[in-house]
Structure 1
């Protein structure tokens, strides 16, 4: 199986404000589940491209029923209820905590390993999701230019 990249999904991880990182986290969350990659990619495009849920705040504002419907229509039906709940919590927490996490990285208060532990604190985010996410995000998070991510 060929690994899906952020570029394959049209994501610029270095997008100012951290929204590129969020989109890649969202994609990694979906791809990291026990579901066909094609279904996860379709669900990602449904959420981000069709429903314009490209920021954590937008995801957090969606109703549970909306997210369940969008996931189901993308073929994510087996896990739609639990995934919808977890995604909405992910959106809420990322909207509140991503900028402080990035700031801690930029100032040297945290290391990338601390960021990974933060990711693992989300329900539904396991080692596979973190592995997928970090495959592309690690360079950005290690780079001194990570402070650019915080700028809107």
Structure 2
């Protein structure tokens, strides 16, 4: 493994899901939490605030489609507020309620059925994810970058933010070459770290420093 990659993984090799306390497991609750997280991280708001808001929602009982549906709109707003997710709290509370209903109605509460419906096709899953309110191209990238830890058929998922981070560190931007820098099981962690590098030049400089 490249020395820069080793240092990067030591400093920032944690997925955003793990940072929010979401296990990287191919299970209904974990996948729903990842979808919520992708929704929250899609907004023009700091990742720290989005992660804090996610933790508050999950603690309030919104960690499953049923649990999120059982929360009132105001309870969702209040949880987002406790995470300081205040600029988008009302619209996001509405979207998350609609998302929970859609997961229950279309996928019977189990987003593993999303992979089945997509026929394990990364392009098709992007189309299906965009059917959820609040999930656009950015949300698709966030979900798929992290979900590749659970769904090997998504690997290597390397989007423009990952490539920007790789370029800052002088690493390959080709998806296959970049993926070869780490074991398959660590690819989601590498891509998350490179997204942080893309957003934080100081982090990039610290990783490159001897």
Give the alignment's TM-score, normalised by structure 2. Answer: 0.59
Structure with bigger helix share is: 1
Aligned to 2:184: none
Aligned to 1:147: none
Q: For 2:74, which of 65, 77, 88 is the aligned residue?
A: 65
- Pair 111,67 (structure 1): closer, same or farther in 2 beyond 3 Å: same
Point out which structure has higher relative CO (alpha carbons under 8 A, 6+ apart): 1
Shift of 1:127: 0.7
Pairing 1:23-42 to 2, within 5 Å after superposition: 23-42=33-52
Q: Is 1:96 matched up with 2:105?
A: yes
- Pair 142,37 (structure 1): closer, same or farther in 2 beyond 3 Å: same
CA distance in 1 between partners of 2:121 and 2:34 (Å): 20
Shift of 1:96: 2.4
Deviations, residues 45-73 of structure 1 (Å, cap 9, x unaligned): 1011x212210111012111111111122
SS of structure 1 residue aligned to 2:75: helix
The answer for unaligned runs of 5 or more in structure 2 is 1-11, 154-210
Q: Note the aligned Cα RMSD (angstroms).
A: 2.6
Q: Is 1:13 matched up with 2:38?
A: no
Shift of 1:110: 5.7
Q: Bigger shift: 118-127 or 3-12?
A: 3-12
- Pair 34,107 (structure 1): closer, same or farther in 2 beyond 3 Å: closer
Shift of 1:106: 4.1
How many correspondences in the alignment?
141
- Asked if the contact 1:112–1:141 (Cα under 8 Å) also holds between the matched residues in 2, the reply is no
Q: Bigger shift: 127-136 or 89-98?
A: 89-98
SS of structure 2 residue aligned to 1:84: helix
- Pair 140,76 (structure 1): closer, same or farther in 2 beyond 3 Å: same
- Pair 108,67 (structure 1): closer, same or farther in 2 beyond 3 Å: closer
The answer for unaligned runs of 5 or more in structure 1 is 144-152
Give the alignment's TM-score, normalised by structure 1. Answer: 0.79
